[in-house]
Amino acid sequence: MTPLETHHAHVAEHVIKELQKRNMEGYYCSGPEEAQTLVSSLIENEASVTFGGSMTITETGVLPYLKEHRKDLTIYDRSLAKNPEEVQEIYRKAFSCDTYLMSSNAITKDGQLLNIDGNGNRVAALIFGPRQVLVIAGMNKICETMEDAMNRVRNTATPANCLRLNKQTPCALTGSCSDCQSPDCICSQIVTTRHSGTAGRIKVILVEGSWGY
């Protein structure tokens, strides 16, 4: 391992202990292939699965892996919806599905998740509904404090997501958050997850490297 990878392993070990105190489970994977097989092992046979908007689950290959290797799963993919009504239907299916896949915009070293959501479907499913939520996150998402996490989300993750989604927001133009109320603002909901009411419902899979925004 490189010194940076060793450092990340130490950080991940600490974060996993902090997650446990908050009723969440934590895992650390040395790379995307390990994450793919771990995620698959955490999903029971013939489960229903859906996912929130996330670059991480695509970049790490987790979602493509499940589609290719887990033909027993029922995967609701809103990118395949034929019309807006079907998209809405898939959003609502998330609340009764077995497993929800997502990333987190940031994770603090003391084990809290921070997520910003425009539509709200992703944070809603994180909070309530799916029997388990698998949060897959690169080590780039780890922040020292909640203040650092908020700074990361507002000034790195959201501007990048606005550019990806072609949103005309101040942060997409300047790279910095101006706490806007623009019609395209994607910061409708700001959710801190500091504890899981159901033990182990939220499982955080940290993946070595930089994944997603």
Sequence-distant (6+) residues with CB within 8 A of 33 are 61
What residues numbered 16-45 form the site for ligand SF4, per CB under 6 A?
Answer: none
Of 1-9, 99-107, 163-171, 194-202, which segment contacts ligand SF4 by CB under 6 A? Answer: 163-171
Of 13-21, 69-77, 171-179, 199-207, which segment contacts ligand SF4 by CB under 6 A? Answer: 171-179
To ligand SF4, the closest distance from the beta carbon of 120 in angstroms equals 14
- Both tokens of 76, joined, read 């609701």
Member of 8, 141, 152, 154 binding ligand SF4 (CB under 6 A): 154
Member of 50, 156, 158, 193 binding ligand SF4 (CB under 6 A): 158
Q: Is 171 an interacting residue with respect to ligand SF4 (CB under 6 A)?
A: yes
Interface pattern 105-144 for ligand SF4 (x via CB under 6 A): ----------------------------------------
Of 132, 130, 137, which Cα lies nearest the Cα of 153?
137
Member of 185, 189, 192, 201 binding ligand SF4 (CB under 6 A): 185
Chain contacts with ligand SF4 (rule: CB under 6 A): 154, 158, 162, 169-171, 177-180, 185-187
